[in-house]
């Protein structure tokens, strides 16, 4: 039964989304809070990630947008005096913070009970040596590893184990600082980096090529255990599980293997004493039943979120209840509501998780996959064959792929090498290899991927070949068509294999295949996920579509009460948890107003794919084909395309053409805003200014245009060969270089060139309009000047330093645009502002990334208003004036450069941050300080390095440098910056690059941790990256030293920590802010 | 395109499912039952409890890891299987894998089925089929080759003594002189039950289902699992009743059919469940405790707890439908369980029951 002394419980969140720690913890935290609320317990949440669902009204009672860091958490504990705390729902960040608080005696001091897994059990799993000892006590094999606390120990360990070895940094997120070393040189390099993240580094024998298998295990305090799910990695050991394609349940394990590992998992969870949930990862010999335990995560994890979605078993919710003292036998299966939560789900489908990488956004980044994570998101596909699930997942990752076959050809110089060294393109390289006649046995030898998986890929390839031998759609047999659909082929793939594109546009061809298919009766069916494989009846709203069926489990009611919300798909750079928040808010408003809310989404990390959030959840593709299938089944009153970011926005026109009722702003208006020519013409017509631009199809035209507007220019190719998609070019040489290397210029692929404005402010207008009239709005301001992508910029709301006239003009122009496009729903306009001169950069007729941030700072839910408008319900203009509150919100960006080896950690016109936080403070400085600390910045103790390339940046660092000096900081500076500062009488120590004569050498100082903060501002927005600045920035990132690369942000941060101390920051919950 | 012959599953109520043959090419008939286990097809196919039945697997991908070498060890037990041969009448799956991949596989599932003359069909919506079976209860059906005009006889399942068909025909002794002697009443015993007993250093005397074991000298009695309706096994019930009333009180353990036979011998009644238990994920709770276990099950009949005499108590209860999962005597060392503690296939949570039994000897 529940422990009865619990009245108030604190939950730690995971902070900003970063590589290795992403949306899954919003899902698990939200579930935990839901479980607590159900018990009538008062909840306190610390999480600076303002875009999350868990930090929304009604989820937790007291929300603190503060860093998940021991000092701040102690302050909140002191203030709130909770009875208990949950540590395992906020990823590694919360776990590490909890261990630190425990070791400091904070829980003891304030009488806070750690609920669920005891802290000692967490320490036993996190400290490698303790872990190995604990498991060897019960004769469980671990990977023989040696804990080392310095580089020479690491070298000795590797020598004794024999290369190849794997190096792991203890206490690190998702394998940070980890990797394989084939020889001593690689070991020394990696060890240095690993030691910068962790005092302990583990050297292990490598088991590359073994199968990697995971189990999700649950235990209650009565010692009852279940394994909710097992999963098998498509990629063998050697690739981080976050980087692997993962299949649930395991496919190549016999009963003996499956249950042997299951039994061990239960033995482990009992011995360690977990109460709640844990994840056990195994290496399994592909040639015997020999195994090793790789690791145990004593907390909810990415895998547990995946397992919850894969099975329908709400692991986080149940774990939270177990933490409160319940036994599993006292809880119900939340899908059937009748059967017990003490059971193990039986799947009658197969699930495929596919990682989403965005390595293309980073220049110079290493694309090779290994034991450290680089992917930024993931998708989960459900099917009744592996082929079906895999092909769905390849479309879901949203990188222009149509499935395993029929994609745009990729160029590979050396297939054999590419197969041997896995990269983010690996699956498509296998497709290419099959096309080039490689046998699956050969591919198996090179990749060590189990033959069973390769046989399935061969099936897809063979079917594609069979399709391509058919010479017309009419001659396509129903058997082959059905076989293709059962293997997950899309209509697009079929159209392409049949070469229909030669006769018709692909849009038309796809519709022809669809029509023919329906005529032949080859249609998908709706199946339920019921956790029991139909053994018992279940009322479940968790659905997917498959062609491996002859009947649907359900028939959606056609009562004109259904509203479909299209979700946001895979988290990726530029689109993540903020759109999940928008989708969830829309669903809430829909349901509160008596409609049925239906969600389509496929991202297992999200709250919107929690089947409790809607009336029906289709865990399926957001492709035109699949959305149309679902629309045909649902026949909804309307569909909302404006709360899920760009994916649903892009479907608007095509769905409208099929007469699907789109709610709110019309598809035509969306097109008028999205289409650059149409939008530009409209701005001209209503007399609104915009930066000069032109879409150009030849190099001559480009040069002519640049001659007219002058450098710098922003260049946006429509087809990118390599590197980032956008670039600022400041000179003829840079322009030439970029266009030759990175982009194709042709009639089919025009390049958009626009005048780039320097020293210009960027201002955001987030608003909601009803039939062209603005109902609510928020104007916020970037700290950085234009040139830093709005997703990377630090944003202040309300805007702090805009002229009243600027604000007035922005409101006026926004009103004009809203009227002209007859907007009904959410929209966002980005402006450039210099001396009251306003230009429009772009306009999106959908919710933007900053909607949750401004909604929460304003305390006006813009999505709720927008949804009501789209439903045709009456809305009132909020009375509250924009400036009617005495606090400031700051949104800061989280970067994950530390995981992206070799890339230059500078900001540019293309987005590179992986997450964000939003903090609120009494003034701009305290809000900024909280936000910066929340994204991993640390206030320097004594020394700061300043290296500014551009004279303007040098000048703008003068005041901050003076401030630093007056506060007693030691300033180090590189050559130019040093003489500049000296000329202005600011004492500083010149530091030297390795190719300069003299000392101290800056790189050495970084390695010796003699510098606490690095301010390194590149010369121009874009540079050739192998320069000295790059070396300093990269070293700072690799050595985990705070780095700022923008002069405006550096100035603001230095100003903030010099004017207010951490101890003086207010500790106010969201509801206390008025 | 696939070269397989077209096949149709025709249920007794007239509903048809169309697919392709991947086993022995012949038509057949039987009782259609499903199991929701996600692995362990070699074990399930050789489980004698499936005698006379056509097995539907709800997990869609079958055949992935092939089939291990069918070798019989010196003690007469199969190394990887649960008996000497396949006992199901036919196999019904959604997606047969064709190729397989596993280090200990020596042939494909298809080849094995052909070798043992067992028809099989793939391409079936086994979820839809399972929902029909669930709602209708057990149903017979036929598996027919589309291009073969010959029909097959309707399957007889009710009132057939399948135990007789699968039980051993003579007494078999294992590990003679190893230790305490246990009589194993073979109603269609899975080899893993014998393995579990042998591992615990006892001598096993395996006897046919209707054998009068009371004449044998032994330290304990073990009642095995088995197929079909317990009501067809009167001879066994009679012999068990004699054992219970013997002046010499000796330990007894039963599994599945053994649970039902023991209950009947004790005087209780057995009834047919609305939804049979056919999976690897059945939760049971030990009565009067907070101890819960995940078990492997395959049965359509259950003991009616209300009819238990006063000196018998429920031992385990199913946490989903509260049906009986085992009984025990209040004073004497006699107990039985409805689930399969020997697993194979399935979870191994309850193998401590074998320890309990052996420690009572």
Q: A753 to each of A118, A699, A733, how far by Cα in Å?
A: 59, 11, 16
Question: pLDDT, tens digit, for every residue of A1044-1066?
Answer: 999 999 999 999 999 999 999 99
What value does the mean pLDDT of chain B take? 94
Rounded to the nearest angstrom, the minimum Cα separation between A462 and chain B is 9
Cα separation, A773 vs A760, in Å, equals 29
B3 contact A CB<8A: no
Active-site positions of B read 256, 340, 342
Question: pLDDT, tens digit, for every residue of A646-701?
Answer: 999 999 999 999 999 999 999 999 999 998 889 999 999 999 999 999 988 888 88
Predicted TM-score (pTM) above 0.90: yes
B346 contact A CB<8A: yes
Cα separation, A33 vs A59, in Å, equals 7
For residue A439, which residues of chain B lie inside 8 Å, CB to CB?
Answer: none
More confident call, A538 vs A988: A988
Rg of chain A in Å (alpha carbons): 28
Confidence at A1022, pLDDT banded by 50, 70, 90 = very low
Give the model's pLDDT for residue B50. Answer: 94
Give the model's pLDDT for residue A166. Answer: 87
Cα separation, A78 vs A320, in Å, equals 23
Give the model's pLDDT for residue A891. Answer: 98
Q: A344 and B39: CB-CB below 8 Å?
A: no
Check the CA dihedral A861-A864-A869-A873 and report its sign: negative
For residue B342, which residues of chain A lie inside 8 Å, CB to CB?
Answer: none
- Closest of A678, A847, A666 to residue A767, by C-alpha: A847
A608: which 2 tokens? 């919107």
Give the model's pLDDT for residue A448. Answer: 94
- Closest of B289, B298, B295, B302 to residue B351, by C-alpha: B295
- Chain A CA closest to residue B131: A534
Q: B60 and A349: CB-CB below 8 Å?
A: yes
Cα separation, A619 vs A639, in Å, equals 16
Conformational region of residue B179, where left means phi above 0, alpha means psi within -120 to 50, and beta covers everything else: left
ipTM: 0.96
Instruction: Give the closest of A262, A286, A537 to B103, CB-based.
Output: A286
Q: What DSSP character marks residue B258?
A: H
Instruction: Give the closest of A263, A287, A527 to B127, CB-based.
Output: A527
Q: A39 to each of A98, A795, A856, B267, how far by Cα in Å?
A: 23, 38, 26, 46
CB A545 within 8 A of CB A629: yes
DSSP-based three-state secondary structure for A255:
helix
Give the model's pLDDT for residue A558. Answer: 93
Q: Side-chain half-sphere of A616: how many Cα atoms within 13 Å? A: 25
As a dihedral over the C-alpha atoms of residue A1032, residue A1036, residue A1039, residue A1042, rounded to 10 degrees, the angle is 170
CB A1036 within 8 A of CB A1050: no
Mutate which of A348, A456, A477, A530 to disrupt the B interface (most B C-beta within 10 Å)? A348
B298 contact A CB<8A: no
* B 181-220 → A contacts, CB under 8 A: none
Rg of chain B in Å (alpha carbons): 20
B343 contact A CB<8A: yes
* B 129-148 → A contacts, CB under 8 A: 130-131, 134-135
Tell me the helices (H) and strands (E) count for chain B, helix number first. 8, 21
Cα separation, A1023 vs A780, in Å, equals 30
Listed in order, strand segments (DSSP E) in A726-824 are 727-729, 751-755, 761-770, 773-785, 795-797
Instruction: Give the closest of B34, B61, B278 to A385, CB-based.
Output: B61
- Chain B CA closest to residue A263: B348
Question: pLDDT, tens digit, for every residue of A57-76?
Answer: 999 999 999 999 999 999 99
More confident call, B262 vs A186: B262
Q: What 3 state SS string does A1020-1070 have? A: CCCCCCCCHHHHHHHHHHHCCCCEECCHHHHHHHHHHHHHCCHHHCCCCCH
CB B240 within 8 A of CB B261: yes
Rounded to the nearest angstrom, the minimum Cα separation between B232 and chain A is 27
Tell me the helices (H) and strands (E) count for chain A, helix number first. 36, 38
For residue B339, which residues of chain A lie inside 8 Å, CB to CB?
Answer: none
Q: B319 and A329: CB-CB below 8 Å?
A: yes
- To which H or E segment does residue B143 belong? strand B139-145
Give the model's pLDDT for residue A885. Answer: 81
Instruction: Give the closest of B38, B58, B126 to A249, CB-based.
Output: B38
Helical residues (DSSP H) of chain B, grouped into ranges: 41-45, 109-115, 126-136, 162-166, 191-199, 234-245, 257-266, 352-360
Rounded to the nearest angstrom, the minimum Cα separation between B190 and chain A is 15
* B 304-333 → A contacts, CB under 8 A: 319-320
Cα separation, B55 vs B35, in Å, equals 7
- Chain A CA closest to residue B68: A254
Mutate which of A349, A351, A452, A466 to disrupt the B interface (most B C-beta within 10 Å)? A452
Find all residues with CB under 8 Å of A997, minimum gap 6, and list them. none
Give the model's pLDDT for residue A882. Answer: 55
- Closest of A399, A402, A380, A379 to residue A391, by C-alpha: A402
DSSP-based three-state secondary structure for A471:
coil
Mutate which of B290, B322, B342, B343 to disrupt the A interface (most A C-beta within 10 Å)? B290
Beta strands B181-186; B220-223: pairing state? parallel
For residue A548, which residues of chain B lie inside 8 Å, CB to CB?
Answer: 60, 94-95, 125
Crossing angle between the packed helical segments A646-657 and A667-674, to the nearest 10 degrees: 130
Q: Is the pLDDT at A1024 greater than 70, yes or no?
A: no
A1048: which 2 tokens? 């405006």
Rounded to the nearest angstrom, the minimum Cα separation between B26 and chain A is 23
Q: B236 to each of A342, A745, B51, how far by Cα in Å?
A: 35, 87, 18
More confident call, A175 vs A444: A444
What value does the mean pLDDT of chain A take? 93
For residue B349, which residues of chain A lie inside 8 Å, CB to CB?
Answer: 266
DSSP-based three-state secondary structure for A784:
strand
For residue B290, which residues of chain A lie inside 8 Å, CB to CB?
Answer: 222, 224, 327, 329
Give the model's pLDDT for residue B21. Answer: 97
Question: pLDDT, tens digit, for every residue of A373-391?
Answer: 999 999 999 999 999 999 9
DSSP-based three-state secondary structure for A434:
helix
Q: Is the pLDDT at A743 greater than 80, yes or no?
A: no
CB–CB contacts below 8 A, A to B: 173
- Chain B CA closest to residue A464: B1
- Chain B CA closest to residue A483: B1
Give the model's pLDDT for residue A200. Answer: 84
Give the model's pLDDT for residue A173. Answer: 53
As a dihedral over the C-alpha atoms of residue B87, residue B90, residue B95, residue B99, rounded to 10 degrees, the angle is 60
* B 37-96 → A contacts, CB under 8 A: 37-40, 42-43, 58-61, 64-65, 68, 80, 94-95
Q: Is the pLDDT at A144 greater than 80, yes or no?
A: no
Cα separation, A851 vs A827, in Å, equals 9
CB A133 within 8 A of CB A160: no
Q: Is the pLDDT at B52 greater than 60, yes or no?
A: yes
Mutate which of A216, A226, A230, A259 to disrupt the B interface (most B C-beta within 10 Å)? A259
Q: Is the pLDDT at A1025 greater than 60, yes or no?
A: no
Q: A342 and B283: CB-CB below 8 Å?
A: yes
Confidence at A196, pLDDT banded by 50, 70, 90 = confident
Question: pLDDT, tens digit, for every residue of B162-184?
Answer: 999 999 999 999 999 999 999 99
The average pLDDT across A272-277 equals 96
Q: B283 and A340: CB-CB below 8 Å?
A: yes
Instruction: Give the closest of B61, B125, B294 to A343, CB-based.
Output: B294
Cα separation, A565 vs A352, in Å, equals 23
Question: pLDDT, tens digit, for every residue of A467-503?
Answer: 999 999 999 999 999 999 999 999 999 999 999 999 9
Q: What 3 state SS string does A562-617 have? A: EEEEECCCCCECCECHHHHHHHHHHHHHHHHCCCEEEEEECCCCCCCCCHHHCCEE
In a 10 Å sphere around its CB, with 0-12 CB exposed, 13-18 middle and 19+ buried, how is residue A456 labelled? buried
Q: B319 and A385: CB-CB below 8 Å?
A: no
B8 contact A CB<8A: no
Q: A535 and B278: CB-CB below 8 Å?
A: yes
Q: B281 and A532: CB-CB below 8 Å?
A: yes
Conformational region of residue A177, where left means phi above 0, alpha means psi within -120 to 50, and beta covers everything else: left
Cα separation, A513 vs A801, in Å, equals 56
């Amino acid at each position: 039964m529940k422990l009865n002394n619990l009245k108030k419980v604190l939950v730690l969140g995971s902070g900003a989304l970063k590589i290795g720690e992403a949306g899954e913890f919003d899902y698990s935290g939200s579930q935990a809070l839901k479980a607590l609320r159900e018990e009538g317990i008062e909840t306190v949440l610390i999480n600076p990630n303002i875009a999350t669902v868990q930090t929304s009204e009604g989820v937790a009672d007291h929300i603190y947008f503060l860093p998940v860091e021991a000092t701040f958490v102690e302050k909140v504990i002191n203030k709130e005096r909770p009875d208990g705390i949950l540590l395992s729902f906020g990823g590694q960040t919360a776990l590490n913070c909890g261990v630190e608080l425990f070791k400091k005696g904070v829980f003891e001091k304030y009488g806070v009970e750690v609920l669920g897994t005891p802290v000692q059990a967490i320490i036993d799993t996190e400290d490698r040596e303790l872990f190995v000892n604990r498991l060897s006590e019960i004769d469980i094999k671990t990977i023989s590893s040696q804990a080392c606390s310095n580089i020479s120990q690491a070298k000795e360990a590797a020598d004794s184990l024999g290369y190849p070895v794997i190096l792991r940094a203890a206490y690190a997120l998702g394998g940070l600082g980890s990797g394989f070393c084939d020889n001593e040189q690689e070991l020394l390099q990696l060890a240095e980096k690993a030691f910068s993240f962790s005092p302990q580094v583990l050297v292990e024998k490598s088991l590359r090529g073994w199968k990697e298998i995971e189990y999700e295990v649950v235990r209650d305090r009565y010692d009852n255990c279940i394994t909710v799910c097992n999963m098998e990695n498509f990629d063998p050991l050697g690739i981080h599980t976050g980087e692997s394609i993962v299949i649930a349940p395991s496919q190549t394990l016999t009963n003996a293997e499956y249950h042997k590992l299951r039994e061990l998992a239960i033995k482990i969870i009992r011995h360690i004493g977990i109460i709640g949930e844990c994840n056990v990862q195994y290496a399994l010999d592909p040639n015997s039943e020999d195994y090793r335990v790789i690791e145990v995560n004593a907390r909810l994890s990415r895998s547990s979120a995946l397992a919850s979605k894969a099975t329908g078993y709400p692991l986080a919710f149940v774990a939270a209840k177990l933490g409160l003292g319940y036994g599993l036998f006292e809880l119900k299966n939340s899908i059937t509501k009748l059967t017990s939560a003490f059971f193990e789900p039986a799947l009658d489908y197969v699930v495929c998780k596919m990682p989403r990488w965005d390595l293309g956004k980073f220049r110079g980044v290493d694309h090779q996959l290994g034991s450290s994570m680089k992917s930024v998101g993931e998708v989960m596909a459900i099917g009744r064959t592996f082929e079906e699930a895999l092909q769905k997942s390849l479309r879901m990752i949203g990188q222009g792929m149509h499935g395993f076959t029929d994609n745009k050809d990729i160029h590979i110089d050396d297939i054999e090498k590419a197969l041997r060294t896995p990269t983010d393109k690996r699956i498509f390289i296998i497709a290419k290899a099959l096309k080039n006649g490689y046998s699956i046995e050969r591919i198996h030898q090179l990749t060590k991927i189990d033959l069973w998986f390769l046989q399935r890929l061969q099936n897809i390839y063979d079917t594609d070949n069979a399709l391509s031998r058919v010479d017309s759609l009419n001659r396509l047999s129903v058997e082959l068509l059905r076989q293709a659909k059962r293997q997950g082929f899309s209509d697009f793939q079929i159209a392409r294999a049949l070469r229909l594109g030669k006769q018709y546009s692909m849009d038309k061809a796809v519709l022809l295949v669809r029509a023919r298919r329906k005529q032949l009766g080859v249609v998908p069916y709706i199946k339920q996920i019921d956790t029991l494989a139909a053994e018992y009846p279940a009322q479940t709203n968790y659905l997917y579509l498959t062609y491996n069926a002859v009947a649907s489990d359900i028939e959606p009611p056609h009562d004109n009460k259904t509203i479909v919300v299209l979700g946001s798909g895979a988290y990726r750079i530029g689109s993540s948890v903020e759109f999940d928040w928008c989708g969830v808010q829309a669903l809430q408003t829909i349901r509160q107003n008596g409609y049925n809310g239906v969600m389509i989404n496929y991202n297992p990390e999200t709250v919107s794919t929690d089947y409790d959030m809607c009336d029906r959840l289709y865990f399926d593709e957001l492709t035109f084909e699949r959305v149309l299938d679902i629309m045909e089944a649902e026949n909804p009153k309307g569909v909302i395309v404006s709360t899920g970011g760009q994916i649903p926005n892009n479907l608007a026109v095509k769905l409208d053409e099929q007469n699907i009722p789109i709610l709110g702003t019309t598809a035509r208006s969306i097109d008028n805003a999205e289409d650059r020519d149409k939008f530009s013409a409209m701005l001209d017509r209503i007399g609104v200014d915009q930066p000069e631009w032109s879409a150009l199809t030849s190099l001559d035209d480009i040069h002519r245009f640049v001659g007219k507007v002058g450098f710098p220019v922003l260049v946006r190719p429509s087809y990118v060969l390599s590197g980032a998609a956008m670039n600022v070019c400041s000179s003829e040489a840079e322009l030439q270089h970029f266009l030759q290397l990175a982009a194709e210029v042709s009639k089919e692929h025009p390049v958009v060139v626009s005048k780039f404005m320097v020293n210009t402010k960027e201002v955001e207008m987030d608003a909601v309009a009803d039939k062209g009239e603005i109902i609510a709005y928020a104007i916020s301001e970037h700290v950085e000047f234009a040139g830093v992508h709005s997703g990377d910029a630090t944003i202040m709301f309300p805007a702090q330093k805009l002229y009243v006239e600027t604000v007035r003009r922005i409101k006026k122009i926004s009103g004009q645009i809203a009227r002209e496009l007859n907007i009904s729903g959410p929209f966002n306009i980005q402006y450039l502002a210099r001396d009251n001169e306003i230009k429009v950069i772009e306009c999106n007729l959908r919710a933007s990334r900053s909607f949750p941030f401004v909604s929460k700072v304003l305390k006006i839910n813009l999505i709720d208003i927008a949804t009501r408008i789209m439903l045709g319900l009456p809305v009132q203009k909020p009375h509250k004036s924009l400036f009617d509150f005495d606090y400031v919100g700051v949104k800061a960006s989280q970067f994950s450069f530390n995981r992206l080896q070799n890339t230059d950690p500078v900001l540019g016109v293309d987005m590179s941050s992986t997450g964000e936080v939003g903090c609120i403070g009494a003034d701009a400085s305290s809000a900024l300080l909280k936000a910066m600390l929340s994204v991993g910045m640390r206030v320097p103790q004594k020394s700061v390095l300043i290296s500014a390339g551009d004279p303007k940046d040098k000048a703008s660092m003068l005041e901050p440098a003076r401030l630093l000096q007056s506060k007693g900081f030691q300033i180090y500076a590189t050559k130019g910056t040093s003489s500049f500062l000296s000329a202005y009488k600011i004492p500083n120590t010149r530091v030297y690059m390795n190719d300069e004569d003299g000392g101290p050498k800056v790189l050495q100082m970084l390695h010796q941790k003699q510098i606490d903060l690095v301010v390194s501002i590149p010369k121009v927005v874009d540079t050739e990256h192998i320069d000295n600045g790059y070396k300093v920035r990269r070293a700072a990132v690799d050595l985990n030293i705070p780095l700022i690369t923008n002069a405006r942000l550096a100035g603001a941060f230095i100003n903030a920590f010099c004017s207010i101390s951490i101890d003086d920051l207010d500790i106010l919950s969201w509801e206390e802010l008025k | 395109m696939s070269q397989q012959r077209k096949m149709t599953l025709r249920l007794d109520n007239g509903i048809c499912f169309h697919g392709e043959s991947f086993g022995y090419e012949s038509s057949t008939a039987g009782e259609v039952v499903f199991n929701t286990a996600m692995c362990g097809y070699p074990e399930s196919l050789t489980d004698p409890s499936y005698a006379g039945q056509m097995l539907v697997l709800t997990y869609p991908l079958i055949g992935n890891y092939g089939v291990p070498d069918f070798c019989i060890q010196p003690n007469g037990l199969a190394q990887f299987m649960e008996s000497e041969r396949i006992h199901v009448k036919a196999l019904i799956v959604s997606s047969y894998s064709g190729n397989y991949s596993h280090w200990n596989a020596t042939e494909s599932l298809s080849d094995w089925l052909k070798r043992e003359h067992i028809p099989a069909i793939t391409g079936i919506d086994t979820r839809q089929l399972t929902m029909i079976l669930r709602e209708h209860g057990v149903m017979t059906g036929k598996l027919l080759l589309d291009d073969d005009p010959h029909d097959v006889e309707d399957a007889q399942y009710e009132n057939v003594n399948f135990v007789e068909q699968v039980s051993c025909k003579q007494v078999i002794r294992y590990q003679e002189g190893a230790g305490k002697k246990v009589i194993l009443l073979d109603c269609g015993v899975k080899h893993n039950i014998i393995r579990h007993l042998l591992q615990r250093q006892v001598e096993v005397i395996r006897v046919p289902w209707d054998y009068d074991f009371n004449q044998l000298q032994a330290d304990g009695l073990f009642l095995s699992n088995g197929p079909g309706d317990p009501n067809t096994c009167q001879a066994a019930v009679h012999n068990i009743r004699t054992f219970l009333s013997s002046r010499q009180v000796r330990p007894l353990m039963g599994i599945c059919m053994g649970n039902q036979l023991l209950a009947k011998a004790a005087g209780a009644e057995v009834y047919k469940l609305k939804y049979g238990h056919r999976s690897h994920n059945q939760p049971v709770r030990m009565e009067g405790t907070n101890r819960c276990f995940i078990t492997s099950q395959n049965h359509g009949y259950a003991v009616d707890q209300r009819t238990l005499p006063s000196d018998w108590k429920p031992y385990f209860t199913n946490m989903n439908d509260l049906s009986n999962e085992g009984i025990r005597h209040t004073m004497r060392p006699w107990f039985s369980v409805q689930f399969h503690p020997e697993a194979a296939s399935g979870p191994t949570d309850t193998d401590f029951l074998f320890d309990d039994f052996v420690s009572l000897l």
